[in-house]
Amino acid sequence: MGAIYRREMNAFFTSGIAYVFLAGFALFSGLFFSFGVIGSGVSDMSPMFSSMFIIVVFLIPILTMRLLSEEKKNRTDQGLLTAPISLSSIILGKYFAALTLFIIAESIVFIYSIIIALCGQVIWSTLLGNYFAMLFLGAAFIAIGLFISSLTENQMASAVIGMFVLFVLYLMDSLAANIPVEFIQKAILSASFYTRYLEFTRGVFDLSSVVYFISIAVLFNFFSVRVLDKRRWG
């Protein structure tokens, strides 16, 4: 796992994806920070975090698009799958590399907190709550993106499908609102990523949501392993 993790981290930077991702994250979070937080004169960064959801929807597929697609296309998966390592360590190595880059990107908020600390009071509890909420959200999204990457040889297809799927997850709330049947509506809302995420930005640290996001991450990583395994049996 360590070898794959290190390789993927290097590949993120040599392929330039890391720079695109970090720059995208910095740009949009910077915009939301200056307009939503500094501009409205509040010291709470929650508005920035809630706006970042839609940005993450589009950025994470860029991060995950090549992770498995490229291996399959270049036939480098043959090297991995015939090496004396387990399938799960291949997936997890890649998963944690992407997650690490996400954490690096997200940690830019601590620079913002210094700016706030210069002119006001940082509310650390909500900041950390938001920070971890985004981390868990990213953890779930990356697992979904990685899974989609395992399904196709084409990086672009992987990115587009990933964005589409995550965007649908984002729209689930509005979808639910238009469904007249109450229990379906309820079911969709309880599975909604956005509602759960917004709870955090409102200052509610809900453990069940944490468990939910982590479960999604575990589930989709498991699916990715199954896809690799199934390919062997195909």
Partner 1 sequence: MIEVRNLSKRYGDKKAVNDISFSVGKGEILGFLGPNGAGKSTTMNMLTGYISSTSGKILINGVDILEDPIGAKANIGYLPEIPPLYVDMTVDGYLNFMYDLKKCKLARKSHLKEICDLCKISHVRERLIRNLSKGYKQRVGLAQALINNPPVLILDEPTVGLDPSQIIEIRSLIKKLGKNHTVILSSHILPEIQAVCDRIIIINKGVVAADGTATEIADKLTNEHKMTVRIEGTTRTADDKQEIADALKAIDGIKYVRADMEREKGIYDYDIESDDEVDVRRAINNLCRNKGWNILMLQLSDMTLEDIFMKITSGDISTVAENSESKASLSDFEMSFDNGKADGEKEETEAKPEAAEEPVAEEKKEEASENKKSKKSKKGGDK
Residues that bind partner 1 (CB under 8 A): 2-4, 6-7, 10-11, 14-15, 74-86, 231-234
Closer to partner 1 by CB, 15 or 125: give it: 15
Question: 171 to each of 79, 86, 143, 164, 191, how far by Cα in Å?
Answer: 40, 36, 19, 10, 12
Closest distance of CB 71 from partner 1, Å? 9
| Shortest distance, position 228 Cβ to partner 1, whole Å | 11
Q: Closest CB to partner 1 among 44 and 70? A: 70
d(CA 148, CA 15): 20
CB contact set of 223 (below 8 Å; sequence gap of 6+) = 147, 150
Measured from the CB atom, the residue of 43 and 100 that comes closer to partner 1 is 100
Considering the complex, state which of residue 44 and residue 71 has its C-beta at the smaller distance from partner 1: 71
Closest distance of CB 186 from partner 1, Å: 43
Q: How far is the CB of 92 from partner 1 (least distance, A)?
A: 14
CB of 111 to partner 1, least distance (A): 30
Q: Give me the least distance between CB of 81 and partner 1, in Å please.
A: 5
CA distance 102 to 96: 9
Residues 6+ apart with CB under 8 A from 57: 141, 163, 166, 167, 169, 170
How many other C-beta atoms are found inside a 10 Å radius of the C-beta of residue 89?
A: 17
Please, what is the minimum distance in Å from the beta carbon of residue 83 to partner 1?
5
H-type alpha helices, the chain: 2-14, 17-32, 46-73, 77-81, 87-106, 109-119, 124-151, 155-177, 182-191, 193-201, 207-233
Give whichever of 71 and 106 is closer to partner 1, judged by the CB atom.
Answer: 71
Task: Tell me whether residue 34 or residue 74 sits nearer to partner 1 (CB atom).
Answer: 74
Torsion sign, CA atoms 18, 19, 20, 24: positive
Tokens of 218: 């575990």
Distance of CA 167 to the CA centre of its chain: 12
Closest to partner 1 by CB, 77 vs 173, is 77
